[in-house]
């Protein structure tokens, strides 16, 4: 009896979902990375990324 009130409205929130602007959407293309063309900042960022991945993997266990 009391369940029928509002129960049908539960799954009708599709119009309230946020929309992503076109300029923020990714085109899905991967950029090729060449280690020969990388500068010091690129190599440092890769090292930090590897260290962060290792920390996240060790915390997951």
Q: Which of 7-11, 18-22, 26-30, 49-53 has the highest mean pLDDT?
A: 49-53
Distance of alpha carbon 2 from alpha carbon 51, whole angstroms: 54
CA distance 17 to 37: 42
Q: Is the pLDDT of residue 44 over 70?
A: yes
At 7, is the pLDDT very low, low, confident or very high (cuts 50, 70, 90)?
Answer: low
The residue whose two tokens read 């900042």 is 41
pLDDT given at position 55:
93
């Amino acid at each position: 009896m009391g369940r029928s009130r509002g129960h049908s409205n539960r799954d009708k929130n599709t119009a309230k979902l946020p929309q992503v602007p076109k300029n923020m959407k990714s085109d899905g293309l991967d950029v090729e990375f060449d280690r020969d063309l990388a500068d010091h900042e690129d190599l440092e960022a890769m090292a930090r990324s590897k260290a962060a991945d290792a920390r996240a993997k060790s915390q997951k266990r």
